[in-house]
Amino acid sequence: MAKINCIGILTSGGDAPGMNAAIRAVTRAAIYNGLSVKGIYRGYKGLVTGEIKEFKSQNVSNIIQQGGTILKTARCKEFTTPEGRKIAYDNMKAEGIDALVVIGGDGSLTGARVFAEEYDVPCIGLPGTIDNDLYGTDTTIGYDTALNTILDAVDKIRDTATSHERLFFVEVMGRDAGFLALNGAIASGAEAAIIPEFSTDVDQLEDFIKNGFRKSKNSSIVLVAESELTGGAMHYAERVKKEYPEYDVRVTILGHLQRGGSPTAHDRILASRLGAAAIDAIMDGQRNVMVGVHHDEIVYVPFNKAIKNDKPIKKELVNVLRALSI
């Protein structure tokens, strides 16, 4: 295997709080180990357009507390084509980059896997997504911060829901994963969570109405994961208006609010650990793996497993929410 002297870092996909902490950790751990570092701007797009800059330790000073990503992120249609990836590879070689660290979600890691297979480039992935939907890691960079943002918002919504005796549907991110909705509901004391993992098993709205809302409560909050499988908060609000017209229903869609903000201590520590471990992996000759954490230990998960396997929701958490929402 060729000796690695220079690594490139990029962030791709949706931004997540803690990405900057990961950029900082990768950069400084690489320099500590005698490697040079180049930051690639705007994800894979920057690899195609050659938007690449050498990073020193001072380039990542005072960013650990910042949300978003200093490297920016963008969609790149060119990189989905063999021609685009060839341009990206040529740019990478011209810059002297020997290995890539990609910080992002499943789409970003899929791009890294394809690129690595085509050009035999050592790629290490870091799970940067608020959705927490990557298999093989207990948590992802940005998830804890997003969860706390949801908690803060729902606490405020609870005040007005109680004052007006209303039923609130609060839509949270997660795409096809219910981790934010379910754990956000438990943490905020919400009455229910409607998540895509169980959308085909039961009528989650009927289940919620039957089990809790009509028994003892004048106001309630239900967290709904944004997903084609659930239909989102508006879908359930319209159903309640038709099927249970006696309830005063409101909808709040939190949207991109959940992506921003200064990362929590948990996300800063997680990003720092994973970033340093990415350099350890490169120094050990590993390639095409995602760095994760399992039972508080660093683990290396092959891209194929991290991307293709669905991360399961614990049924126990659903039972906890149901028991505590009476």
pLDDT band at 44 (very low <50, low <70, confident <90, very high): very high
Predicted pLDDT of residue 323: 86
Residue 30's SS3 state is helix
* 144-259: CATH number: 3.40.50.460
Model confidence at 326: pLDDT above 80: no
CATH 3.40.50.450 region(s) of the chain? 6-142+263-308
CATH 3.40.50.460 region(s) of the chain? 144-259
Predicted pLDDT of residue 223: 96
- What average pLDDT score do residues 112-137 get? 97
Q: Is 310 marked active-site?
A: no
Residues in the chain: 326
Chain centroid, CA 320 distance in Å: 24
In this structure, are residues 290 and 276 in contact, taking their beta carbons and an 8 Å threshold?
no
Q: What percent of the chain has pLDDT over 90?
A: 79
For 270-308, the pLDDT digits (tens) are: 999 999 999 999 999 999 999 999 999 999 999 999 998
What's the whole-number average pLDDT of the chain? 93
For 13-43, the pLDDT digits (tens) are: 999 999 999 999 999 999 999 999 999 999 9
Q: What is the DSSP letter of 6?
A: E
For 143-202, the pLDDT digits (tens) are: 999 999 999 999 999 999 888 888 999 999 988 899 999 999 999 999 889 999 876 555
Q: Which tokens in the block code for residue 252?
A: 């709040």
Predicted pLDDT of residue 213: 57
For 203-225, the pLDDT digits (tens) are: 777 777 666 555 556 678 999 99
Q: H helices of 195-314, where?
A: 204-208, 214-216, 232-243, 265-283, 303-308
Predicted pLDDT of residue 245: 87
Catalytic residue among 98, 131, 133, 144: 131
Model confidence at 244: pLDDT above 80: yes
Calculate ∠ Cα 315-318-323, nearest 5°. Answer: 125
**What architecture does CATH give domain 6-142+263-308?**
3-Layer(aba) Sandwich (3.40)
Predicted pLDDT of residue 258: 97
Q: Return the bridge partners of 224, or none.
A: 171, 194
User: How many C-beta atoms lie closer than 10 Å to residue 31's C-beta?
Assistant: 16
- What average pLDDT score do residues 47-57 get? 98
Predicted pLDDT of residue 175: 80
